[in-house]
Amino acid sequence: MENQTQNAFRALADPTRRDIVQMLALQDMTIAQLTDRFNMTRAAVKKHLTVLSDGGLIAVEARGRERINRLEPKGMAPVLDWLSYFDQFWDERLNSLKEAVERKSK
Amino acid sequence: MENQTQNAFRALADPTRRDIVQMLALQDMTIAQLTDRFNMTRAAVKKHLTVLSDGGLIAVEARGRERINRLEPKGMAPVLDWLSYFDQFWDERLNSLKEAVERKSK
DNA sequence: TTAATGTGAAACCAAATGGTATCTCTTTAG
DNA sequence: CTAAAGAGATACCATTTGGTTTCACATTAA
């Protein structure tokens, strides 16, 4: 999807999508399971998942008729990269943070 | 503007606004100075600055007929807070980062 | 095999978003 | 004083966004 920084920031701009990210941080979930936790239709949740996927923040694994959505930690890297570029005064600490993300995602 | 986390994430979701943040990280600027660097009208830049202000990421200081826009580092705190809540595995490093922000903004 | 379950996709809608042009107001320069 | 410079505000516009309803398709259960 080309511009990962933009897609990642855009994915995080919506509160529902940030909630989804937090839920998926606790456990992998199907669309139906996520929909149970929101006051909106499955189609709406699906759209949010597509945006999150474009942002590289989640990955989908097919299991029979189910699709397991799981968090993709390395998708956060462009966001952290941008934060680090934007300002030098917290940079060593942010570099450590980026290393942690890289370790986790391999 | 109530929900700082949402306002900050929303402010960062637009590429022009992220560019503005980067420019203001280098030096304080007026709207006219910022407008010189973009291919859009002053009114459009002004709208972006309003969104950034709502997100707590910039502050405006009146100087005569000019308005000096400057970066407000502590506005990034809700973003970093959210990132740290969302996932534990990089948490000590993120906490260090948050402390750095707090030091810088006082 | 048939029915139920899980998902995807398309058409549609209201509201938000990012931009413009235009007018006004305040402050500074001549 | 008058004109120019810097900025704010409003009305307007096209596109995007976040949601819905509806239909189709694949997989599993009875």
Give the CATH number for residue B43. Answer: 1.10.10.10
Residue B52 · residue B11 · CB < 8 Å: yes
Query: Which helix (H) or strand (E) segment is A61 a member of?
Result: strand A58-63
Domain tally, chain A: 1
Instruction: Give, rounded to a whole angstrom, the gap between the first and last alpha carbons of chain A.
Output: 21
Instruction: Give, rounded to a whole angstrom, the gap between the first and last alpha carbons of chain B.
Output: 21
Mean pLDDT of B8-32: 96
A46-60, A70-84, B1-15: which has the minimum mean pLDDT? A70-84
pLDDT band for position A73 (50/70/90)?
A: confident
pLDDT band for position B83 (50/70/90)?
A: confident
Residue that the structure tokens 């999807």 belong to: A1
Q: What is the pLDDT of residue A80?
A: 84
Q: What is the pLDDT of residue A98?
A: 56
Q: Is A97 part of the contact surface with chain B (CB cutoff 8 Å)?
A: yes
Tell me the pLDDT tens digit for each residue of A4-21: 999 999 999 999 999 999
Which residues of chain A does B21 touch, with a Cβ-Cβ cutoff of 8 Å? 86
Q: What is the pLDDT of residue B93?
A: 45
Residue B80 has pLDDT above 80, yes or no: yes
Which residues of chain B does A82 touch, with a Cβ-Cβ cutoff of 8 Å? 18
Which residue in A has a C-alpha nearest to residue B26's C-alpha? A87
Tell me the pLDDT tens digit for each residue of B30-70: 999 999 999 999 999 999 999 999 999 999 999 999 999 99
Q: Which residue range forms the structural domain that includes residue B24?
A: 4-105
